[in-house]
Amino acid sequence: MNTTESLKDYQRVRMLAIRSLFEIIEQSSEGTVIVDRDANIVWMNERYAKRFGLASAEVAIGRPCESVIPGSLLREVVRTGRPILLDMQDTPKEPLVVMRLPIHDDAGAVIGAIGFALFDELRSLSPMLKRYLSLQEELASTRSLLRARQAKYTFAHFIGTSAASLEVKRRARRSASTESPVLLLGETGTGKELLAQAIHGASPRAHKAFVSINSAAIPEALLEAEFFGTAPGAFTGADRKGRSGKLQIAQGGTLFLDEIGDMPLPLQSKLLRVLQEKEFEPVGSNEVIQSDVRVIAATSTDLEAAIKRGEFRADLYYRLNVLPIQVPPLRERLDDLPALSEAILEELRSQHELDSQALELLGQHAWPGNIRELRNVLERAALLSDDLILNAAEIRAAIGSFVPVQRSAPLAIETHANETFSAARERFDRQLIESMLAHCGGKVVEAAARLGLGRSTLYKKMVALGITESL
């Protein structure tokens, strides 16, 4: 056999092998599709056509591959000339393991591509497919959980332009850039959790979870398990698989400890260890888990008084009280009532408005329930009113037990003969600061918030005026 005949014989064997290989894969695969250089389908077997809901393969001819096979990468194979040997292809029924190959002409130019769906014949890939589906479910669950744990509020939701409100927002924004614990102090209903979420949302941890736990809302016997999680079968009735606690769920994010003043003393000591050592152990486990959470705590109780009563650990208080923020009650920021009322009615999707007398009446009530009470009053008034303009009588009826604001008597301005303006101002400043410190029981932080000053600013003024903290 001469060289020419041998070459022809090799080419014939090669063509037969290619055809046989194509026929074997086509017959044994779940589906086969061929596209031209424009990624339009030129051939598809019937099995593949039925998988994508087509009456016959002929319906697919001439159509772009993506319009028949959503997510197809055959166009990329045609564009790049590179094969994709193993990949996962989602279909309406189940994911397929697919192989995509470019088609070249005799000159080596790419003129199309061919794709094989190999799911049915690669039984050995079944564990991988199960693992793939499991990971998909786990990822969807994690995304859903993270969305549920995302902070809903920003600083824009803390409505108010009064001096007290602006000082709170200033301090809160400053705390967002740090990793230090924050302690929010204030009466219930003043918006402490809103501020905690805003701080988290403005921090580098914003893309992680915001997890809240209320020490007063969970029975003491369950609080430790809720906080630290449990090992499998840690106690009778515990989950056999174990359960993640709030600390684990908040990893990388922020843990908000609401009403921390009600936390039991034994749990306080364990929390102190978390803050100092950055580690904890689930209930019933000897495993030490590293902790990476930013802690924001809030309370409506007087922690210093609780320390004196032996109900709160002094060392935990000092560890938490790094960045204290005094959130003022509504009666101390009455100038914010118009903006707050408008925002609440908008949030309630109400078309109601308040007339001037209704707004004036709102400013005469002491609001013991703070913003939570204000929302309740406005919602009740809007539901009961037949008129879109709410008047004072309707607001008065919605308030129920009216608590008038106790307005402090204005400071008497004394004048002294031959006293300069500078001396008179210094005397007035001293009188004002001493009066406010006495009203706040000597608490500089609270006095500063009520005066609309930063703590450091008030300290500087006190030093300059010779005022001591013992007042």
Domain membership flag for residue 410? no
Pair (311, 335) in one structural domain: no
* pLDDT tens per residue across span 198-208: 999 999 999 89
Q: What is the pLDDT of residue 470?
A: 55
Residue 429: its pLDDT value, please?
83
Closest CA to 275 of 259, 296, 306, 261: 296
Answer whether residue 191 shows pLDDT above 60: yes
Average per-residue pLDDT for the chain: 84
Q: Is the pLDDT of residue 110 over 90?
A: yes
Identify the sign of the CA torsion 289, 290, 295, 299.
Answer: positive
Range in 17-26, 47-56, 169-178, 313-322 with the lowest mean pLDDT: 17-26
* Domain end position, chosen among 118, 137, 164: 118
Q: What is the CATH number of the domain that holds 446?
A: 1.10.10
324 & 353 share domain:
no
Is 292 inside any structural domain?
A: yes
Question: For the ranges 142-146, 224-228, 230-234, 313-317, which has the lowest average pLDDT?
Answer: 142-146
CB atoms within 10 A of CB 89: 21
Let me know: does 149 contact 209? Beta carbons within 8 Å.
yes
Whether residue 343 sits in one domain with residue 324: no
Indicate the residue type of 253.
G
Among the residue ranges 26-40, 331-345, 369-383, 405-419, the one predicted with the least confidence is: 405-419
Residue 17 forms part of a structural domain: yes
- Any idea which of 167-171, 191-195, 437-441, 457-461 has the lowest mean pLDDT? 437-441
Task: Give the residues across from 280 on adjacent strands.
Answer: 289
Walk across the sheet containing 110-117 and list its strands: 41-44, 31-36, 110-117, 96-104, 84-89
Q: Is the pLDDT of residue 383 over 90?
A: yes
The whole-angstrom separation of Cα 46 and Cα 30 is 10
Query: Can you tell me which residue has the tokens 């630290």?
Result: 228
Q: At which residue do the structure tokens 């030490």 appear? A: 288
427 in the same domain as 293: no
**Cα separation of 466 and 282, whole Å?**
52
Distance CA 165, CA 42 (A): 69
pLDDT of residue 93: 72
**Residues 324 and 338 both lie in one domain:** no
Query: In the structure, what pLDDT confidence band is assigned to residue 14 with cuts at 50, 70 and 90?
Result: low
| Closest of 371, 367, 372, 374 to residue 402, by C-alpha | 367
Taking 70 as the threshold, does the pLDDT of residue 410 lie above it? no
* CA pair distance 182, 298, nearest whole angstrom: 8
Beta strand segments in 90-144, E: 96-104, 110-117
Task: Please indicate, yes or no, whether residues 337 and 461 belong to a single structural domain of this protein.
Answer: no
Angle at 384 between CA 380 and CA 390, to 5 degrees: 85
Element (H, E) at 18: helix 3-28
Q: How many domains does the chain have?
A: 4
Asked which of 93, 118, 143 is the last residue of a domain, the reply is 118
Identify the residue whose tokens are 């009113």: 385
Residue 185 lies in a domain: yes
Confidence of residue 334 (pLDDT cuts 50, 70, 90): very high
Q: What pLDDT was estimated at residue 444?
A: 82
Same domain, 32 and 109: yes
Summarize the confidence of residues 158-176 as an average pLDDT.
Answer: 91
Q: Is the pLDDT of residue 121 over 50?
A: no
Range of the domain at 384: 331-398
CATH of the domain at 67: 3.30.450.20
Query: Average pLDDT, stretch 450-458?
Result: 78
Mean predicted confidence (pLDDT) in 221-239: 75
β-pair type (353-354, 289-290)? unpaired
- Residue 366 in any domain: the answer is yes
Does residue 471 lie in a domain region?
no
Q: pLDDT at position 148, please?
A: 45
pLDDT digits (tens, 9 = 90+) for 287-298: 888 999 999 999
Same domain, 274 and 199: yes
Cβ neighbourhood burial of 386 (10 Å; 0-12, 13-18, 19+): exposed
Residue 23 has pLDDT above 90, yes or no: no
Q: According to the model, what pLDDT value does residue 136 have? A: 65
Model pLDDT for residues 267-282, shown as the tens digit of each residue: 999 999 999 999 988 8
Kindly state whether residue 239 falls inside one of the protein's structural domains: no
Rounded Cα distance between 223 and 114, Å, is 60
* H or E stretch covering 182: strand 182-185
Least confident of 76-85, 247-256, 438-447: 438-447
Residue 95 lies in a domain: yes
User: CA 290, 217, 297, 150: dihedral to nearest 10 degrees?
Assistant: 70
pLDDT in tens, 69-84: 988 999 999 999 999 9
Distance CA 130, CA 111 (A): 36
Among 334, 298, 324, 299, smallest CA distance to 163 is for 334
Q: What average pLDDT score do residues 144-150 get?
A: 54
Same domain? For 263 and 323 the reply is yes
Among residues 71, 97, 118, the one where a domain terminates is 118
Whether residues 203 and 305 share a domain: the answer is yes
pLDDT reported for residue 3: 57
* Contact assessment for residue 242 and residue 230, using Cβ atoms and an 8 Å cutoff: yes
Give the pLDDT band of residue 140 (cuts 50, 70, 90): low
Task: Based on the fold, state whether residues 287 and 386 are members of the same structural domain.
Answer: no
47 plus 164 within the same structural domain: no
